[in-house]
A and B are shown apart, each in its own frame.
Chain A
Amino acid sequence: MRLLRFILQRLFLAVITLLTLFTLTFFLMRAVPGDPLMRTKEIPEETRRNLEQRYGLDKPLHQQYFLQLSRIFIHGDFGTSFRTVGREVNDIIREQFPVSAGVGIVSVLIGVTTGIALGIIAALYRNSVIDRFAMFLCVAGISLPSFLFAFIFQYSLAVYPLTQLGFNPDTWLRPAGWGEPRDFIMPSITLSLGIIASITRMLKSQMIEVGFSEYVKTAKAKGVSLARLVVMHQIRNAILPIISIIFPILVFTMSGSLIIEGVFGIPGLGRAYMTSIQNSDYNVIMGLTVFFGGFLIIMNLITDILYGVIDPRIRVG
């Protein structure tokens, strides 16, 4: 019963958050100086009126608000581009989101597995070479922005070997490009660095904390073998809180991907976003923001509920 109440509460909050996001986006886009049609070429009055009617710009503001609200949330229609005639935001999302999601999933997989491995090793062999390396990676990965790593990798892994060492451009990593499996490598490594950093750091401190706990002492005292102790008692309990940082990790990966897609020439949502900003294509900016933000909010909701189901203490709060 309590769980159900908890889930409903979170759901309600997520809906309110989505509405807030939409409202903020709507009014921010309306606050842009000039109207959306102003920056296109000089258009005759007649065409202008037609366009305004078509995009619903001639209606009063509150009507536009509710029109757009129902269009997005009831019909799932994010509207059309003001710049490229006939280009639907839904099509942009349909074509480019899978690309972003693919890179994101690959980097989360790399990041989570490497991070868990590094965190466990760093905690078990404290002050070893691996531990020091892991701690350096953590500080760098958390404090430095991912676009720095993107440029570092692009130069050292692709540009330098190709231009200075004479590697074969047909088989070696390309500085920018999309369409082949090898093009996944650099962006995913770049994006996974931050994930590795946050997971390693969290897991290491959790492992150490669990190591001091009474139940580990008890297990040790009762003669459990070291391997069993570490795997069944320490790691199992230390990994649990990792779930709580899945959402921050997703936000991190997604926001990092905004620029990284530009650097590596990946035709994902991040690049679509960047292009729409450069073109001042407000409808696309708005649609992508609501979609992207909505995606993150729903991910947050899932993380919350998942954590509430697994750890009963959370529900009480």
Chain B
Amino acid sequence: MKNNNLSPHELTADELSDARLFTPQPAQGAAAEQLSRPVVGYWKDALIRLSRNRIAVFALALIVFVALVGVVGPWFFPNTSDGTPYENSQNLNFINQGPTLGKPVLVIEDAPQFMDDKVDETYDFTAPLLKSGELTPPSAFAVVGQATVNGVTMSWNPVRGVSGYQIYRTVVSGQPISIEDVVTDAGMRGLQVATISNPAQTTYTDSSGLNPAEQYIYSVVAYVLDPNTQEETVSERAEALQASLVQTISLADAQALKADAQVGETIRGHAHLFGTDALGRDILARMITGTRIDFFLALLVPTVSLLIGLCYGAISGLMGGKVDMILMRIVEILDTLPELLLLILIQVALGKGVGSLVIALCAFSWTGYARVLRGEVLRLREIEFVHASRLLGAPLMSIIFRHVAPNLLGIIIVMWSAQIPRIITSEAFLSLFGLGVEAPMATWGTVLQDAAAHFQQYPAQFFLPASILAATLLAFYTLGDALRDAFDPKLRGRD
């Protein structure tokens, strides 16, 4: 039989008998089974795919950076004179300040000294009261000494024939207001800070709620009180002065900054990169310290709820039958409960504090783990390689550690990491409700809560810390997403 289609030329009998055509292949043995490329296991594969995701790597770097700053940062905080932690130390002369690298501050005595109000001994009380047209404001109105945030002392020459003086203060913040306006226009004088009913008095010290970032215009008018009608007449014009305040620091605090600081010297104050809050505390320092509690919660709560969920899910999955049904119905009911309301409720019942936060946050977050892990246990129990392993006589522990655990770990890591940003959000949420940790402990949520109280006046106090919160949440979220993709074998080769 010859088949022309199969070969271009027909082999002759001689050629066919050529022994070389039939040399046996040399035995390769184990070499044929050798893998030509390095083995890439499940974990290595996941790692490779994760590291290829640039956004995820960046997110991871950001998280590590935030965590590092949170752990290491507080070690480098400046010392305070009274020993309170820097993030809790209040400076009531430096409240609600914007970001600064360190303003010049004047070193003063630890307790600022004000002179007593001076009285003109030669004042003639017998002079008749002036009529409304004759009233003039006191002359030589001037600041005495240095105007500081602790107080502004001003003096004037008394006017004869008046009942006393009134002192007004207005803030120059962006509005076009000059001394001239205040002198002529009573409506521009602002807040009345004092009524001095002794016409012989020549000085006054204003020390309430002064802000170093502001310029103040003080004005003084003389008034006459009609002894019969009790009617008050005020001089039409005022004397006015503009005062810019010097920021001060107590000697003890100054020496913590610069060892050889002296009273009267001007030194560079603390840098407040995020400014200070309503109690004069450094916001960045509070955020950095707050990182510790936030990250502690963010690591602990998912871990605890994972352990609860793992035990619950494993029991449910392994027991099966009635127990499984009842346990899963319980999870179903807990899942439909409004988690947030109960979170608030538990926190109300247990009171503020880190411990109750942990309990409240763990109480309902384990159900997700229980549900998923039960499903996985059921799946893995019936899967072929587990059967095969059992058939070959592998001990239970070996099955669990070699086959079940590695297969669960991927899912566990994905769920665990996805829970972290939710915990940070919940902490902030509860704090905004006033249900977080006890004051003055700092967490990200309490920093935001403090700032929210006067958000419209000082938005930077809210937005600077909030941007850190937002960046961290976004980073955790992207990383969680990337982990989910990396551990999903179905996505292999798609990127």
Contacts and interface: CB of A to CB of B under 8 A. Distances in A.
B348 A277 contact: yes
A277 B463 CA distance: 26
B477 A277 contact: no
A159 B470 CA distance: 21
A210 interface: no
A13 B470 contact: no
Interface in A47-101: none
Q: Which of A143, A293, A300 has the most CB of B within 10 A?
A: A143
B147 interface: no
Contacts of B350: 31
B300 to A, nearest CB: 20
Contacts of B349: 28-29, 31-32
Nearest to B469: A148
A244 interface: no
Interface in B309-334: 329, 332-334
A292 B478 contact: no
Contacts of B456: 154-155, 159, 175
Interface stretch (A15-23, A112-120, A121-129, A225-233): A15-23
Contact of B433 (A33, A259, A296): A259
B340 A32 contact: no
Interface in B409-468: 421, 425, 428-429, 432-435, 452, 455-456, 459, 462-463, 466
Contact residues on A (Cβ < 8 Å of other chain), bracket: 35 or more
A296 B338 contact: yes
B346 A17 contact: no
Contacts of A285: 345, 348
A255 interface: yes
B307 to A, nearest CB: 22
A139 B474 contact: yes
Nearest to B466: A148
A28 B425 contact: no
Interface string A259-273: 100110000000001
Contacts of B432: 147, 259, 262
B333 A13 contact: yes
B429 A145 contact: yes
A83 to B, nearest CB: 14
A140 interface: yes
Contact of A278 (B332, B336, B434, B477): B434
A289 B341 contact: yes
Interface string B261-288: 0000000000000000000000000000
B344 interface: yes
Contact of A16 (B333, B470, B474): B333
Contact of A142 (B344, B429, B435, B477): B477
Contact of A145 (B333, B428, B452): B428
B392 interface: no
For chain B, what secondary structure do more than half of its interface residues adopt (helix, strand, loop), or is it mixed? helix
B425 A145 contact: yes
Contacts of B421: 143
A155 B459 contact: yes
B455 A151 contact: yes
Given A28-B346, A32-B349, A277-B433, A144 B336 contact: no
A218 B425 CA distance: 46
B337 interface: yes
Nearest to B347: A277
Contact of A143 (B334, B429, B466, B477): B477
B351 interface: yes
Given A28-B346, A32-B349, A154-B455, A277 B434 contact: yes
Given A147-B428, A277-B348, A280-B348, 9 more contacts: A17-B337, A21-B337, A29-B345, A139-B477, A143-B476, A147-B429, A147-B432, A277-B434, A277-B435
Interface of A: 13-14, 16-17, 20-21, 24-25, 28-29, 31-33, 139-140, 142-145, 147-148, 151-152, 154-155, 159, 175, 251, 254-255, 258-259, 262-263, 273-274, 277-278, 280, 285, 289, 292-293, 296-297, 300
8 contacts: A139-B474, A144-B470, A151-B452, A159-B459, A175-B456, A251-B338, A254-B338, A293-B342
Interface of B: 329, 332-334, 336-338, 340-342, 344-346, 348-351, 421, 425, 428-429, 432-435, 452, 455-456, 459, 462-463, 466, 469-470, 473-474, 476-478
8 tightest A-B CB contacts, nearest first: A143-B477, A28-B349, A255-B340, A293-B338, A31-B349, A145-B425, A296-B338, A17-B336
